[in-house]
Chains A and B, each alone.
Chain A
Amino acid sequence: MNAWFVSHQVLVQSTLISLLLALSIQVPLRAGVFSFAGIGSYAIGAYAAAIVTIRLQVAPVFAIGAGVVIAAVAGYLLALLVARLSGLYLGMATIAFALFLGVVAVNGGELTGGATGLYGAISTLTTGHVVAITVVVVLLLVVNERGAFGRRIDAVREDPQLAVSLGVDVGRVRRRVFVVSGALGACAGGMNSLLRTTVSPETIGFQLVVTALTMIIVGGALSWAGAAIGAVIFTWLPSVLQVVGDWQPVVYGVLVALAAIYMPTGLLGVAQSAWRRARRRPLPADDRERPDGDDPERALAALQEVRP
């Protein structure tokens, strides 16, 4: 196990960083916000962590934290800017945000190291830290996906007008989603810079949009678990696909197209509906037609009270 871990350490790191990056797209999607701002935030986090570490030699938590704070603030401002956009237009605007940051990185002079990027961002960040951060992030997202939190986000995605009439401040949920997405993306970017000790414009390019979207489409967009499935598959697939050599991108493309066509809810969605079918109790024959198929006693028994 230990030997396996040592030889696969880089892949484990990549998986977790990819997971956080994918989550920075999945969190907005879950709330019905088609935003790639997480990719731009990854760039912010990657450069901020490298710059802070090289120039100030502070602990990794501050280097990554700096990027997270900057990206969260940028996310909030971006949310205000694109408040009226949705769907494809929002997607385009936020991709432009990511590409814009790429241009800034190339032309940032000494601060960003221009086209060659920055080297020597050496820190004490370990795989253990990355695992711990990822676990905490996932736990927080699990809480947000369940119970009242999750239901209200579902309502914002499925039917914003209904959500409003149920007392949900949809605008605020959307702004929050941008902030969370910014923080997640920056966290992923910062950890990647410090683990690789380097960052360059190529590592924050359009490729990231493709990677993150691929993971979510194949894994499933409606839960963190979908992003996790996607992150594992697409981080480990290249080592499996080495046999096909140059045909790798073709195999990728076919996989994604098949997933998009035949599994619109991703692998996670397929697994969930199978699970639901397996445990559903059979319908009583006349239940669908009986208008008063009610039994208050049973209804009350089914509802354990949790007093506010």
Chain B
Amino acid sequence: MTTAPARTAVLTTSDVAVHFGGIKAVDGVDLGIAPGEILGILGPNGSGKSTLLAAVTRLVPLTRGRLSLDGTDYTGSPAYRLARRGIARTFQTVRLLPDLTVLENVQLGADLHLPRASRLRELLRRGAVPEVAEAVERTGIGDALDRRPGELSYGTARRVEIARALAAGPRVLLLDEPTAGMNQPERREVAGLLRRLRDEGLAQLLVEHDVQMMVDTCDRLLAMNQGVRIAEGAPTDVVEDAGVQSAYLGRPSGPQQGGFAPVEPQQSHLAATREREAGRAADR
């Protein structure tokens, strides 16, 4: 089993909690992401994954806990400052501006780095900054640049979202279910892109429901249930963890909180993953 090398984390949270009234959406989560690492967050619906992402990006106020980037605390920093400091994110749903073209939507990501003078120059000469061109190229949306979001297939729209986040030139990328609604080839393509970005040193936090993709893509997994961490470590270990199995797959293991119906397809998914991992281990 491989574990993540002890690199210095670029983004860390300590004891982060977000309570909505009596509901403890996130209740004391510690995590750290290093440059060139993909940390996956696994958990059933309502386990607090998206709230954790919102907390990290300062979109919801923290009940307690600290957030830090490069060792600098940003717990009290307003959300709009984070983009400039290198944190970019995508959202669970497609959030593109309907009246702008795909190119303009991607440009929105890079706009914050554009000095005023260049914004004026952009008006005189149509064009975009190199970061935008690169993000477009990497996500493969070059053919859709002059379309509006309403005309795109769901998979393409999601890739435009990733392109917009990349155009900001982030050091930390937070992805909330980036492949939801995509077909298998599209998923593989996105997973490949995330791995390439990792190899270039980007720190990523990935929330996904596709267990197989998580195991294949992430360096480490953190499993959550009811706002707390229930397991963390190498992907295969976490997926095998009894607590994770019962929480995520609804498999009864003792008198734990039930409520999740067994999900057959995902179980077989898990079995396939296990087989693949076994094969991989044998190769090594």
Tell me the A residues contacting B by CB distance below 8 Å: 143, 146-149, 151-152, 154-155, 158-159, 161-170, 222, 281, 283, 287-289, 291-296, 298-300, 302-308
Contact = CB atoms under 8 A, between A and B. Distances in A.
Given A164-B80, A170-B80, A307-B130, A151 B100 contact: yes
Contact of A304 (B81, B119, B123, B127): B127
B120 interface: yes
Nearest to B81: A167
A47 B267 CA distance: 74
Contact of B142 (A148, A166, A288, A302): A302
Contacts of A298: 142-143
Contact of A299 (B95, B121, B122, B136): B136
A149 B114 CA distance: 10
B16 to A, nearest CB: 18
Contacts of B95: 159, 162
Contact of B122 (A148, A155, A164, A296): A148
A148 B97 CA distance: 14
Interface stretch (B40-48, B103-111, B232-240): B103-111
A293 B137 contact: no
20 contacts: A146-B123, A147-B120, A152-B111, A162-B95, A165-B57, A166-B109, A167-B111, A168-B112, A291-B155, A292-B185, A293-B140, A293-B144, A296-B142, A300-B133, A300-B142, A303-B103, A304-B125, A305-B127, A306-B129, A307-B118
B108 A151 contact: yes
Which secondary structure characterizes the binding site on chain B? helix
A83 B84 CA distance: 24
Contacts of B100: 151, 154
Nearest to A283: B151
The 10 A-B residue pairs whose C-beta atoms are closest, nearest first, are A299-B142, A294-B140, A167-B83, A167-B112, A304-B127, A148-B119, A148-B111, A303-B133, A296-B137, A308-B118
A147 B122 contact: yes
Contacts of A299: 133, 136-137, 141-143, 145
A167 B137 contact: no
Nearest to A296: B137
A258 B80 CA distance: 40
Interface in B160-174: 164, 168
A147 B87 CA distance: 23
Contacts of B153: 288-289, 291
Contacts of A146: 123
Contacts of B97: 151, 154-155, 158-159
Given A148-B122, A168-B80, A291-B185, A308 B133 contact: no
Given A289-B153, A307-B129, A295 B108 contact: no
Contacts of B259: none
Contact of A294 (B112, B113, B128, B141): B141
Given A293-B143, A298-B143, A299-B142, A167 B84 contact: yes
A193 B145 CA distance: 49
Contacts of A154: 97, 99-100
Contacts of A304: 125-128
A151 B104 contact: yes
Most chain A CB within a 10 A radius of its CB, from B82, B99, B108, B130:
B108
B79 interface: yes
Given A146-B123, A148-B114, A155-B108, A292 B168 contact: no
B136 A303 contact: yes
Interface in B70-100: 78-84, 88-89, 91, 95, 97-100
A152 B108 contact: yes
B199 interface: no
Interface string B164-194: 1000100000000000001101100100000
A78 B100 CA distance: 31
Nearest to B134: A300
Contacts of A149: 119
Interface string B138-162: 0111111110000111011000000
B100 to A, nearest CB: 6
A293 to B, nearest CB: 5
Given A154-B97, A159-B97, A293-B143, A308 B59 contact: no
Given A162-B95, A165-B83, A166-B111, A300 B137 contact: yes
A19 B47 CA distance: 53
A143 B79 CA distance: 27
A291 B95 CA distance: 19
Given A293-B156, A299-B133, A306-B122, 8 more contacts: A165-B57, A167-B81, A167-B168, A283-B151, A288-B152, A299-B143, A306-B129, A307-B130
A177 to B, nearest CB: 16
A152 B156 CA distance: 22
A289 B153 CA distance: 7
A265 to B, nearest CB: 9
Nearest to A304: B127
